[in-house]
Amino acid sequence: MAASTAAAAAALRLPFPLLSSPAASSSTLRFSLRRRGGAPRSLAVAAAFKKLSEASPLPIPQEPTEPLADEEALPPKPGVYGVYDPSGELQFVGISRNVRASVEGHRRKVPADLCASVKVAIADEETPDRTALSNAWKSWMEEHIEATGKAPPGNVAGNYTWVAAPQRPADLRLTPGRHVQLTVPLEQLIDRLVKENKAVAFIKGSRSAPQCGFSQRVVGILEAHGVDFVTVDVLDEEHNHGLRESLKTYSNWPTFPQIFVGGELVGGCDIISSMAEKGELAALFQK
């Protein structure tokens, strides 16, 4: 159970800012369930928040026209909440400044077969301490993972059923267009690009729509690890004309994608995938 628990906690998402609607923007919070000694850590949670196992489930009507539970049971106040499917499986744990509005939002946007009931723990204060709310969320996650060995599906990084996908930055372009005469060699533009950015991924296609499986995998791995990186589309002949051949010469690497960190070539998809599997990727980007 210890191994599966650690794996389940490797990449969990906490919605921030504290949401009144699940469609709002989100960022990532990662936490480990265990200290170095291996013992589970306990979280200081405000007394106002119940444990997940102590909260009573409230039904979520399947018909959109049917009202939710009354405001006394599901008030428009800050708190933490968990949504269950009809079989009683926990699907998502959220945190919100208006729990009722968030549940209403999920009810409208998330498939009905994932929303059958909800458990809530409400804060005593109208504007509770942010740390107390996040600790309550962590406590519910910890309790569920300790009991089941896995995180709720909606809280696993990369699952955007419950929380909107982050907006991806636009791909960088080397030139304004093919019609513009370059005043410096393309290799010099490449050199400047990889040295001025901490991490650069030269991929086939755009970041939002990679055009090959290897490029898609690299983007997925880097995003899942929370890496701050930029992408360049080597297939964009309008703004990156000649890049593929020039980059092969510059890097002495024949295939794509190519990932540079700190101005140095790390490698392609195989190397990035291997480093991710061995847990070496985080250390690479901390240098």
pLDDT (tens digit, 9 = 90+) per residue, 7-34?
444 445 444 333 333 333 333 333 434 4
Determine phi and psi for 200, rounding to 5 degrees: -130, 130
**pLDDT score of 157:** 77
Q: Find the mean pLDDT for residues 163-181.
A: 87
Provide the sign of the torsion angle of the four alpha carbons 123, 128, 132, 134, taken in this order: positive
CA 113 to chain CA mean position, Å: 23
Tokens representing residue 154 in the block: 């909606």
Structural domains of the chain, ranges and CATH numbers in brackets: 57-155 (3.40.1440), 186-285 (3.40.30.10)
- Crossing angle of the two packed helices 243-251 and 186-196, in degrees rounded to 10: 70
Q: Find the mean pLDDT for residues 230-252.
A: 95
**pLDDT score of 11:** 46
> What's the pLDDT band for 159 if we cut at 50, 70, 90?
confident
Angle, alpha carbons 122-124-130 (nearest 5°):
80
**pLDDT score of 13:** 47
Percent of the chain with pLDDT over 70: 82
d(CA 116, CA 110): 11
CB 144 within 8 A of CB 152: yes
Q: Find the mean pLDDT for residues 113-138.
A: 88
d(CA 144, CA 142): 6
**pLDDT score of 224:** 83
**pLDDT score of 1:** 52
d(CA 24, CA 226): 19
Task: Write out the chain in H/E/C secondary structure.
Answer: CHHHHHHHCCCECCCCCCECCCCCCCCCCCCCCECCCCCECCCCCCCCCCCHHHCCCEECCCCCCCCCCCCCCCCCCCEEEEEECCCCCEEEEEEECCHHHHHHHHHHHCCHHHCCEEEEEECCCCCCCHHHHHHHHHHHHHHHHHHHCCCCHHHECCCCCCCCCCCCCCCECCCCCCCCCCCCCHHHHHHHHHHHCCEEEEECECCCCECCHHHHHHHHHHHHCCCCCEEEECCCCCCCCCHHHHHHHHHCCCCCCEEEECCEEEECHHHHHHHHHHCCHHHHHHC
Q: Find the mean pLDDT for residues 101-107.
A: 94
The chain-wide mean pLDDT, for the chain, equals 83
Given a cut of 60, is residue 39 above it in pLDDT?
A: no
Cis bond before residue 76 (omega within 30° of 0) = no
> What's the pLDDT band for 192 if we cut at 50, 70, 90?
very high
d(CA 240, CA 15): 37
CB atoms within 10 A of CB 88: 9
Q: Which residue in the block uniquely carries the two structure tokens 């703004």?
A: 239
